């Protein structure tokens, strides 16, 4: 063996040792200075920012597990309640509205007293805002969902524009967004809107969003109409999902205002930003106390809006129901 070959064989172990030290040092540097890896799960109906919810503690993991579980339960209910074309009807009630002989009883009874619309109850989801409303719902209806809230007592009647009132009315917009994200269209109805005929027949196919009105000025495309979110129909499109996100985000600009007034303030922004096509339904078809017409040959629904307080709403809407029954017995005899 030559002297050169001997030197190479002696140097090789030292060379490998140096490389090993450099490699270990590099690994240690990566471990020390790299940020920790955090698991996250996408929010199902996000906060308008499209962000994620990091799981960093056992407590947060528990809350997220409950939220995802509730969302999954609601998605399953949508599947069961939907029509063949994936339309659902949605309303919300709290304990005050669900009490015996209160608004929920009148609302459900209106379907039975209506003009052959009892079948629509199969596609109605009642969202209960508290446990007592949920128990009442389960005793009278098939599709009941307990909507988990982040604190606050939403069971009693709420003063107009109080914090609990605002939480109650804004919660429905998040639910609307979730429904659209699941691929379903919805017709939301306040529980103080009585149904006499099928209101879907007044919804135009061209519109992205269809709303009731407090005051209707004659043109269903006129944004000067005064909107009412007590009856809202939306298609499950990407545009509408973005519209609802923008609408919810606008609450930050008007923190003491309900969702209806905020919509009225931003409706021109929505049309400009998203090319939103909106249909406003005449009060001749979706009636109310704001612009009462009392033409039961045309009314599909009648909403107890423009009446303050549950007791007053109940008293006035009961009189409308009796007028409808008289009209039906006279003109709609089977």
**Backbone φ, ψ for residue 125 (5° rounding):** -105, 125
State yes or no: pLDDT of 297 exceeds 70. yes
- What would the pLDDT profile of 37-89 be if each residue is shown by its tens digit? 332 223 333 333 333 333 233 343 333 333 445 688 999 999 999 999 999 99
d(CA 186, CA 91) in angstroms, rounded, equals: 10
For the chain, give the longest Cα–Cα distance. Answer: 121
- Structural domain including 123 reads 52-331
Residue of 49 and 327 predicted with greater confidence? 327
- Please check whether residue 197 lies inside any domain of the structure: yes
Residue 111 C-beta-side C-alpha neighbours within 13 Å = 16
Q: Which two tokens stand for residue 26?
A: 């590099």
Q: What are phi and psi of 241, to 5 degrees?
A: -65, -45
- Which residue from 47, 25, 84 is spatially nearest to 252, judged by alpha carbons? 47
Check residue 19 and give its pLDDT: 53
Position 26 scores a pLDDT of 54
Report how many domains make up the chain: 1
123, 103, 108, 100: which is closest to 179 by C-alpha?
A: 123
Looking at per-residue pLDDT, the higher value among 20 and 109 belongs to 109
* % of the chain with per-residue pLDDT over 70: 74
Q: Is 224 a domain residue?
A: yes
Residue 170 belongs to a domain: yes
In the chain, the percentage of residues whose pLDDT exceeds 90 is 67
Task: Report pTM.
Answer: 0.78
Three-state SS for 220? coil
In-domain check, residue 33: no
The secondary structure element, H or E, covering residue 244 is helix 238-249
Specify the CATH number for the domain of residue 171: 3.90.550.10
In a domain, 11, yes or no: no
Phi and psi of 141, rounded to 5°? -150, 160
User: Would residue 136 count as lying in a domain?
Assistant: yes
């Amino acid at each position: 063996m030559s002297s050169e070959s001997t030197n190479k064989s002696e140097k090789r172990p030292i060379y490998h040792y140096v490389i090993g030290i450099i490699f270990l040092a590099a690994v240690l540097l990566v471990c020390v200075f790299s940020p920790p890896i955090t698991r996250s799960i996408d929010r199902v109906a996000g906060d308008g920012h499209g962000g994620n919810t990091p799981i960093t503690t056992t407590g947060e993991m528990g809350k997220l597990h409950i939220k995802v579980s509730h969302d999954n339960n609601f998605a399953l209910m949508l599947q069961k309640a939907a029509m063949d074309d994936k339309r659902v009807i949605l309303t919300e009630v709290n304990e005050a509205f669900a009490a015996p002989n209160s608004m929920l009883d009148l609302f459900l009874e209106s379907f039975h007293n209506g003009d052959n619309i009892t079948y629509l109850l199969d596609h109605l989801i009642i969202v209960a805002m508290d446990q007592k409303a949920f128990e009442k719902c389960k005793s009278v209806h098939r599709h009941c969902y307990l909507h988990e809230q982040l604190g606050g007592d939403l069971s009693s009647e709420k003063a107009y524009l109080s914090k609990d009132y605002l939480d109650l009315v804004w919660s429905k917009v998040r639910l609307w967004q979730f429904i659209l994200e699941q691929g379903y269209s919805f017709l939301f109805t306040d529980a103080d809107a009585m149904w006499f005929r099928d209101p879907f027949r007044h919804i135009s196919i061209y519109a992205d969003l269809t709303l009731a009105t407090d005051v209707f000025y004659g043109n269903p495309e006129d944004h000067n109409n005064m909107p009412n979110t007590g009856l809202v129909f939306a298609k499950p499109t990407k545009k509408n999902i973005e519209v609802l996100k923008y609408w919810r985000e606008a609450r930050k600009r008007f923190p003491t205002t309900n969702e209806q007034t905020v919509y009225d303030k931003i409706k021109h922004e929505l049309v400009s930003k998203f090319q939103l096509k909106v249909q406003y339904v005449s009060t001749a078809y979706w009636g109310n106390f704001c612009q009462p017409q009392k033409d039961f040959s045309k009314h599909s629904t009648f909403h107890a809006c423009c009446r303050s307080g549950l007791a007053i709403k109940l008293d006035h809407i009961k009189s409308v129901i009796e007028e409808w029954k008289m009209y039906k017995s006279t003109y709609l005899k089977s």
